[in-house]
């Protein structure tokens, strides 16, 4: 074939090459007592790496969420997830602490939704950061020894949150994080899980070894629960407190990016 040389083209440039696979949207399900504001730096770092990142406010977190339930949180995540998968985008769901419970349930519903509609995306992966893995008919309180929680008038607050949540954060980061904290709906923490959505989705679990909110031994137990029914579980250990995206943000962002890109 001589004609490419007429136009000073290298024929090797005409070889068919596989198109780059589109990157999924990352949806973050925040922990109880937290808000999207706690994830601003992680969101920015992931966006800088080329990802669309969505961090919904879960209804159960905040004074106005006194009557909000676990189901309200699930439905919120499903709503945001549908907006992505119905436009053909796959989703990776990153969940922190309590957020793993509504996050896993939402992921299962979204994948069922995808089965019923051709050419939609799916939830391809769960990334759980100190995530709570509740079995069917178990609640957050059934799964976590939350002696640090104080309930009053349907809302739950935290004793000494700087020690429980932010023990390895700088004073400046801790001060901002405390300002962004919210009380949590008590009913959301007692609500029983109706579906273990983590059974059928590849899952990456980050164990936080200096966590004062959810003991590392509990997290390791959650990993064993995952591995007992899901053959696609990988684990990383971080020497970090409960919120490594605040104390070791760049490292968490790199972990997430690597997990996503290696599993496209």
pLDDT of 119: 80
Per residue in 207-263, pLDDT (tens digit) is 999 999 999 999 999 999 999 999 999 999 999 999 999 999 999 999 999 999 999
pLDDT of 20: 64
- What is the spatial order of strands in the sheet that 184-185 belongs to? 149-152, 155-158, 184-185
pLDDT of 152: 92
Per residue in 106-135, pLDDT (tens digit) is 999 999 999 988 888 999 999 999 999 999
- pLDDT reading at 83 higher than 90: yes
pLDDT band at 196 (very low <50, low <70, confident <90, very high): confident
- pLDDT reading at 23 higher than 90: yes
**Structural tokens at position 204:** 């990456």
- pLDDT reading at 18 higher than 60: no
For the chain, the residue count is: 264
Per residue in 65-75, pLDDT (tens digit) is 678 999 999 99
- pLDDT reading at 170 higher than 90: yes
First CA to last CA distance, the chain: 36
Distance CA 80, CA 58 (A): 11
- Domains of the chain by start residue, with CATH: 23-262 (3.40.50.1820)
Q: What is the dihedral of CA 97, 129, 215, 134, to 10 degrees?
A: 50
pLDDT of 65: 63
Per residue in 215-228, pLDDT (tens digit) is 999 999 999 999 99
pLDDT of 159: 95
- pLDDT reading at 189 higher than 50: yes
- pLDDT reading at 2 higher than 50: no
Q: How far is CA 120 from CA 78, 79, 114, 135, in A?
A: 14, 14, 6, 28
């Amino acid at each position: 074939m001589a004609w490419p040389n007429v136009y000073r083209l290298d024929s090797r440039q005409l070889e068919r090459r596989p198109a780059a696979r589109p990157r999924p949207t990352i949806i973050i399900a925040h922990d109880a007592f937290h808000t999207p504001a706690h994830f601003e730096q992680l969101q920015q770092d992931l966006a800088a790496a080329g990802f669309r990142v969505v961090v919904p406010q879960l209804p159960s977190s905040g004074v106005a969420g006194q009557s909000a339930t676990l189901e309200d949180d699930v439905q919120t995540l499903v709503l945001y997830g549908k907006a992505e998968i119905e436009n053909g985008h796959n989703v990776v769901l990153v969940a922190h602490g309590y957020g793993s419970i509504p996050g896993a349930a939402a992921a299962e519903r979204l994948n069922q939704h995808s089965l019923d509609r051709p050419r939609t995306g799916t939830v391809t992966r769960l990334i759980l950061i100190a995530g709570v893995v509740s079995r069917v008919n178990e609640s957050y309180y059934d799964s976590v020894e939350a002696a640090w929680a104080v309930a009053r008038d349907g809302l739950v607050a935290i004793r000494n949150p700087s020690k429980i949540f932010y023990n390895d954060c700088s004073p400046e980061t801790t001060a901002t994080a405390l300002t962004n904290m919210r009380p949590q709906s008590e009913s959301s923490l007692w609500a029983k899980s109706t579906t273990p959505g983590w059974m059928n989705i590849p899952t990456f679990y980050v164990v936080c070894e200096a966590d004062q909110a959810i003991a590392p031994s509990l997290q390791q137990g959650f990993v064993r629960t995952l591995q007992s029914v899901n053959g696609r579980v990988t684990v990383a250990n971080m020497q970090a407190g409960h919120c490594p995206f605040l104390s070791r943000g760049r490292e968490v962002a790199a972990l997430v990016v690597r997990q996503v890109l290696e599993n496209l």
